[in-house]
Amino acid sequence: MKSLRPLALLLCVASLCACAGPGKISAQNRAAIHSMRLINPPQGAEADCYSDSTSQAAGMVGAQFGLIGGLVGGAIAASDINAGVQRWAPLTSGRQDEVLQLVRNQVEKEFLQSGKVHCLPNGASDAQLEFKRIGYGVTHAGAQHFRVIIVASVEMKKANGEVVWRTSSSAESSACRTLEEYKQDPKTYTDSLQEVAESLAAKLITAYQS
């Protein structure tokens, strides 16, 4: 199952912005940025991440048969992902604002502690960090067990509008449970979201500093 994980994440983050452009910020630009504003994604946080063995296998098999196979496999995977999102909706829906705030809080904390960059609520700043997308949900961990996942894509612009950095990342919870187990104790999902938001923010700041 682990060998299929990269494809599962690819399916989950298919709508993240492309990696074209400045994937690494220059030392000069990084040294000049001491304050920034965080900009929410246009759609807010979206509860649309899901992958399981069916979607993973469909995409993998389809890719082996060229363009047509890829389209067919992708359609099967997309159908399975949509069904999975709906199945988990009783647990994931209504958490959009919570996830958005968790990610914002942790990113702000990481930049301040590790990057020495202050996040300002408004007013002039050296740069702005735009969340192009934040998605969350679950990803298959084997059998009927799933891990909580959050994906994000960000773009940093200087005050003059120049894009100086782009990156996309994802993080998963350490614990994995069945849907019924999460339903029986919803706090486990809430706690996992906190853990994953912390991990995601740490990955973003590592990418920023590298």
Q: Which 3 state secondary structure label does DSSP give 185?
A: coil
Q: Strand 145-158 and strand 127-142: pairing?
A: antiparallel
Q: For residue 165, what is the enclosing H or E element?
A: strand 163-172
The 10 Å CB-count burial string (b at 16+, else e) for 164-197 is: bbbbbbbbbbeebbebeebeeeeebbeebbebbb
Where is 36: in which H helix or E strand? strand 35-39
Q: Which residues contact 101 (CB under 8 A, 6 or more apart)?
A: none
How far apart are alpha carbons 59 and 70 in whole angstroms? 7
pTM of the model: 0.81
Q: Give per-residue burial for 49-67: e unless 16+ CB within 10 Å, then b.
A: bbbbebbbbbbeebeeeee
Reference 21, options 198, 205, 129, 156; nearest CA is: 156
Per-residue confidence in pLDDT tens, the chain, 210 aa: 333 333 334 444 444 444 445 678 999 999 999 999 999 999 999 999 998 865 554 344 334 433 333 333 344 456 778 888 999 999 999 999 999 999 999 999 999 998 789 998 888 899 999 999 999 999 999 888 999 999 999 999 999 999 999 999 999 999 999 999 999 999 999 999 999 999 999 999 999 998
Does residue 148 contact residue 193 with C-beta atoms inside 8 Å?
A: yes
199 half-sphere exposure, CB direction, 13 A CA radius: 16
User: What domains lie within the chain, and their CATH numbers?
Assistant: 25-52+90-209 (3.30.160.150)
